[in-house]
Structure 1
């Protein structure tokens, strides 16, 4: 016997009632299915064209396919990243359509040196893209060609050291070295990675400190003399040794780590949207095209390194502790 389904007013009402019950019982499911319904704005607290911008564009070029929408970046340089965070926390709506893409190392150190106007617990990072150890380097034509020469010269006179911003893991690294060896270093904030590299190349400063990915991108115009962490790329950083191995120190690894962050209120009010963001973020890392995009954007493949909420939270905790420990060196530099 062939069974047919005839749609009547009763069955239609029954179907509608069941759908209504599903909607009431599982609003999060339906909201998750419709998210995102428009582009997502990303606040980047550095200038356009810098390392964070290149990193963001490489990652978002794959992520947007997984998420089914595009990203609209906005750049807010100024005050070592503070401007971008103040605008994000003060003016953007906590609805999961507004994210921040920051460099956790230097930007969290900012809060240790001088607290922001907002509660730092009102946002959190959920998606780390990379981990990039900091290093010290000289211009290729510099008379100082080793860290030993730099330390010896620093005991005779105060050396000028270019840094992208004062509150930076690289700044802590070189100031800690000066404290350990008795060499005298004067940090000069040069506003961004490009200027910091240029400062060493042109001789505007005696040498510079920066995240090593940016130094690798500078090629033969610079020479790396010390890494404030593990040298995972060998000759790309001139086989420079770590500060701990050269000077017998126990300094924690000084890293920059770029990550996406979100308002805590958005994650709490829209957990289904948060789940979509986290799931598609992970799917992006599983896509082999990401590495190609990252390398094409001048990223160092060894530094591409996924991290979630827990990893980011631990990194923030470590940075705050380091900032408190070295605050006198940073504020008195």
Structure 2
């Protein structure tokens, strides 16, 4: 498994990214038509209204021209909409089916009348009718196949149209993002330069961060050994803690007893001093004074042994 490269050291040159972004943006703008030309517009679906409007305007000069209400509503200056175009298509399909039925009916009547009044009259045998019926069946089958092919083609065109519309929307979004990309690249380039400077300062201040791989691994091993030694010492101190705590409690009890004795000895010394003064400063050392000197000496010895300040 390959290690991910550092974004600071593995980034391409700043000028290359900016140049590529500007080149892509210029190419995309060159593909878009200019908005100043009325005949050209941004990438859109083929204008279906152009042939309809032109045919409607050319046929409006004829006095017997007939247009339906639904087609008149769609030929507005603002242009057709997808819903109006769909309504027009449905209306034209209905008109075409009615026109076809009328045409077939009219042609059939005309042929029948000509066959009757013709001289000599046209006589059709049953064999000819059967052959004509067979040829009609073949023609109907071919027509049905062509209709199915046209229906499949229409479905394919509709799916491709929806796909192209979706791609066009994506292209518009990506175009906006591409226009913002050069500014973002410049901002990222400034951040990369700042990070490089900070990295150089950090490497100069800490020589350990600039070591090769072998020395770095060696340094890591030494730090791990030092950490293990500290953990061992810490574990030993934790094991000694209960014993030291008990010893400390014992010494605190002894110090409390000695403190009480010191208070009593101080009180006795004061009493001896008072009695000595009452005797008028006569020489001699009484029993309480000697005991006080002994207690003071013992206190000094214990303070020195226990290292007690105060």
What is the TM-score of this pair, normalised by structure 1? 0.18
Higher-Rg member (1/2): 2
Name the one with the larger helix percent.
2
Higher RCO (CA-CA < 8 Å; seq separation 6+): 1
Greater strand proportion: 1
- Could you tell me the TM-score, scaled by structure 2's length? 0.19
